[in-house]
Amino acid sequence: MEEDDRSKRAEQYLLIAQKEMRGKLKIYIGMSAGVGKTYRMLQEAHHMLAEGVNVKVGYVETHGRKETQTLIEGLPLIPRREVFYKGKLLQELDVNAVLARTKNAGRT
Protein backbone atom coordinates (compact mmCIF):
# COMPACT_ATOMS: atom_id res chain seq x y z
CA MET A 1 0.00 0.00 0.00
CA GLU A 2 2.76 2.41 0.89
CA GLU A 3 4.36 1.71 -2.50
CA ASP A 4 1.07 2.61 -4.26
CA ASP A 5 0.85 5.93 -2.39
CA ARG A 6 4.45 6.74 -3.25
CA SER A 7 3.82 5.90 -6.90
CA LYS A 8 0.69 8.08 -7.02
CA ARG A 9 2.54 11.00 -5.44
CA ALA A 10 5.36 10.63 -7.96
CA GLU A 11 2.87 10.65 -10.84
CA GLN A 12 1.15 13.75 -9.42
CA TYR A 13 4.51 15.50 -9.10
CA LEU A 14 5.37 14.68 -12.72
CA LEU A 15 2.03 16.07 -13.91
CA ILE A 16 2.63 19.31 -12.01
CA ALA A 17 6.15 19.57 -13.44
CA GLN A 18 4.85 19.04 -16.99
CA LYS A 19 2.23 21.77 -16.55
CA GLU A 20 4.89 24.17 -15.32
CA MET A 21 7.00 23.55 -18.45
CA ARG A 22 4.16 24.51 -20.79
CA GLY A 23 4.42 27.87 -22.46
CA LYS A 24 1.82 30.61 -22.26
CA LEU A 25 0.31 32.61 -25.07
CA LYS A 26 -0.45 36.27 -24.56
CA ILE A 27 -2.16 38.27 -27.30
CA TYR A 28 -1.67 42.01 -27.63
CA ILE A 29 -4.56 43.79 -29.29
CA GLY A 30 -4.49 47.42 -30.37
CA MET A 31 -6.90 49.56 -32.34
CA SER A 32 -4.29 50.59 -34.92
CA ALA A 33 -0.61 50.53 -35.82
CA GLY A 34 1.73 52.46 -33.57
CA VAL A 35 -0.21 52.11 -30.31
CA GLY A 36 2.59 50.18 -28.59
CA LYS A 37 1.79 46.46 -28.90
CA THR A 38 5.27 45.41 -30.02
CA TYR A 39 6.94 47.88 -27.68
CA ARG A 40 5.06 46.51 -24.67
CA MET A 41 5.69 42.91 -25.71
CA LEU A 42 9.44 43.55 -25.90
CA GLN A 43 9.42 45.32 -22.53
CA GLU A 44 7.75 42.28 -20.98
CA ALA A 45 10.25 39.98 -22.71
CA HIS A 46 13.12 41.83 -21.03
CA HIS A 47 11.40 41.56 -17.65
CA MET A 48 10.74 37.83 -18.13
CA LEU A 49 14.33 37.21 -19.23
CA ALA A 50 15.55 38.96 -16.08
CA GLU A 51 13.31 36.65 -14.05
CA GLY A 52 14.94 33.60 -15.62
CA VAL A 53 12.17 32.73 -18.08
CA ASN A 54 13.29 31.08 -21.34
CA VAL A 55 12.45 33.83 -23.85
CA LYS A 56 13.23 33.80 -27.57
CA VAL A 57 12.17 36.37 -30.17
CA GLY A 58 10.92 34.72 -33.34
CA TYR A 59 10.13 37.74 -35.50
CA VAL A 60 9.70 41.44 -34.86
CA GLU A 61 8.76 44.08 -37.40
CA THR A 62 10.03 47.43 -36.12
CA HIS A 63 8.55 49.53 -38.96
CA GLY A 64 11.70 51.63 -38.70
CA ARG A 65 10.97 52.76 -35.14
CA LYS A 66 14.27 53.32 -33.34
CA GLU A 67 12.72 52.80 -29.89
CA THR A 68 11.42 49.38 -30.91
CA GLN A 69 14.76 48.41 -32.47
CA THR A 70 16.54 49.41 -29.26
CA LEU A 71 14.27 47.13 -27.21
CA ILE A 72 15.26 44.10 -29.30
CA GLU A 73 18.86 44.50 -28.15
CA GLY A 74 19.77 42.02 -25.44
CA LEU A 75 17.00 39.58 -26.29
CA PRO A 76 17.87 36.18 -27.78
CA LEU A 77 16.68 36.03 -31.40
CA ILE A 78 15.75 33.10 -33.58
CA PRO A 79 17.32 33.95 -36.97
CA ARG A 80 14.88 34.78 -39.74
CA ARG A 81 14.45 32.51 -42.73
CA GLU A 82 15.29 33.99 -46.12
CA VAL A 83 13.12 33.06 -49.10
CA PHE A 84 12.91 34.20 -52.70
CA TYR A 85 9.45 35.23 -53.83
CA LYS A 86 8.71 36.71 -57.24
CA GLY A 87 12.36 37.59 -57.71
CA LYS A 88 12.75 39.29 -54.32
CA LEU A 89 14.65 38.14 -51.26
CA LEU A 90 12.32 38.25 -48.25
CA GLN A 91 12.74 37.41 -44.59
CA GLU A 92 10.13 35.54 -42.59
CA LEU A 93 9.65 33.68 -39.34
CA ASP A 94 11.59 30.42 -39.41
CA VAL A 95 8.78 28.16 -38.25
CA ASN A 96 10.97 25.04 -38.41
CA ALA A 97 13.51 26.65 -36.07
CA VAL A 98 10.72 27.54 -33.63
CA LEU A 99 9.31 24.02 -33.74
CA ALA A 100 12.78 22.54 -33.24
CA ARG A 101 13.18 24.66 -30.09
CA THR A 102 9.77 23.46 -28.88
CA LYS A 103 10.76 19.81 -29.31
CA ASN A 104 13.92 20.42 -27.29
CA ALA A 105 12.28 22.57 -24.59
CA GLY A 106 13.19 21.43 -21.12
CA ARG A 107 16.23 19.47 -22.33
CA THR A 108 19.68 20.61 -21.42
Calculate mean pLDDT across residues 32-47: 90
Residue 11 lies in a domain: no
With beta carbons less than 8 A apart as the criterion, state whether 82 and 89 touch: yes
* Percentage, residues of the chain above pLDDT 70: 82
State the residue range of the domain holding 84.
78-108
Residues 83 and 69 in one domain: no
Residues 60 and 84 in one domain: no
User: pLDDT band for position 87 (50/70/90)?
Assistant: very high
Residues 85 and 101 in one domain: yes
Report how far residue 44's alpha carbon sits from residue 71's, in angstroms, rounded to the nearest whole number: 10
Residues 68 and 86 in one domain: no
User: pLDDT band for position 1 (50/70/90)?
Assistant: low
Residue 98 lies in a domain: yes
Contacts of 27 (CB under 8 A, 6+ apart): none
- When divided into structural domains, the chain yields a total of 2
Residues 35 and 64 in one domain: yes
